[in-house]
């Protein structure tokens, strides 16, 4: 498949890029996408939730009422879960939510997400450009010219650019990543994918090495 390459002013440059059908035109695997997104979200969890159990609550250990003769139930300690401020039964404990997936499955998930973007006509390729200084207004204008400014945008660079990253940092609906930082969650979450020319070649090169 060939796509036109746009200039940052929104006009076509006259060039076209050829996309690898083994990356951008595969039959998407929804289960692979689900598992990869699930892993990404699980890995973001801190797993530090903790509540105090009965033995951890700092209260008196004095018996609340006498064992017999009160006419009510027996109570041994104010630390019991039935009392306000008492310990919690089966409360959350610190744990690790992360899990592993094999590389081939994660790669299949990324390629599936990229193929969906092609099917949705949500992929745009732009010419490489340089920002001399961080300028958010200038960066917003690029998306207006490309007519993708009303969407959640994932902007992918061939390599890191500090000025472009800083220009996007205050934009809620824009995320800038380099090609080696692409993950399935960001691809699925974005409604529009913008690739700087050269990214597609790196993806193809990585695919051959794998």
Mean of pLDDT values over 39-63: 92
Confidence of residue 42 (pLDDT cuts 50, 70, 90): very high
| Residue in the block written with tokens 């990585």 | 206
In a domain, 83, yes or no: no
In a domain, 107, yes or no: yes
In a domain, 52, yes or no: no
SS3 of 196, please? strand
**To the nearest whole percent, how much of the chain has pLDDT over 70?**
98
In a domain, 84, yes or no: no
**Listed ranges 7-16, 25-34, 62-71; the one with the highest mean pLDDT:** 25-34
In a domain, 123, yes or no: yes
CA distances in angstroms from 77 to 63, 68, 84, 190, listed in the order given: 5, 15, 12, 54
Whether 210 shows a pLDDT value over 70: the answer reads no
- Which pLDDT score, from 0 to 100, does residue 109 have? 96
Q: Is the full-model pTM beyond 0.85?
A: no
- Which pLDDT score, from 0 to 100, does residue 14 have? 87
In a domain, 58, yes or no: no
Mean of pLDDT values over 187-202: 92
In a domain, 87, yes or no: no
- Which pLDDT score, from 0 to 100, does residue 107 have? 94
Whether 155 shows a pLDDT value over 90: the answer reads yes
- Which pLDDT score, from 0 to 100, does residue 148 have? 86
- Which pLDDT score, from 0 to 100, does residue 203 have? 86
| Tokens describing residue 96 | 């690790």
Confidence of residue 150 (pLDDT cuts 50, 70, 90): confident
For the chain, how many structural domains are there in total?
A: 1
Task: Quote the domain boundaries for residue 12.
Answer: 2-38+101-209
In a domain, 120, yes or no: yes
Any alpha helices (H) in 78-198, and if so which ranges? Answer: 103-119, 136-146, 162-168, 184-189
- Which pLDDT score, from 0 to 100, does residue 204 have? 82
Mean pLDDT of the chain: 91
């Amino acid at each position: 498949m060939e796509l036109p390459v746009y200039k940052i002013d929104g006009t076509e440059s006259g060039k076209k890029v050829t996309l690898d059908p083994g990356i951008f035109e595969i039959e998407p695997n929804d289960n692979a996408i689900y598992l990869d997104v699930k892993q990404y979200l699980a890995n973001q969890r801190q797993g530090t939730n903790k509540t105090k159990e009965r033995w951890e609550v700092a209260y008196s250990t004095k018996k609340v009422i006498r064992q017999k003769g009160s006419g009510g139930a027996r109570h041994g300690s104010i630390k019991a879960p039935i009392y306000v401020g008492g310990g919690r039964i089966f409360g959350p404990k610190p744990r690790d939510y992360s899990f592993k997936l094999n590389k081939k499955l994660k790669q299949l998930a990324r390629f599936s997400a990229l193929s969906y973007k092609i099917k949705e006509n949500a992929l745009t390729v732009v010419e490489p450009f340089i920002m001399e200084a961080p300028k958010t207004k200038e960066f917003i204008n690029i998306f207006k010219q490309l007519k993708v400014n009303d969407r959640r945008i994932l902007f992918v660079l061939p390599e890191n650019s500090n000025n472009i990253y800083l220009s996007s940092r205050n934009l809620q609906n824009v995320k800038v990543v380099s090609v080696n930082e692409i993950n399935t969650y960001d691809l699925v979450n974005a409604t529009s994918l913008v690739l700087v020319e050269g990214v597609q070649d790196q993806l193809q090169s990585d695919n051959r090495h794998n």
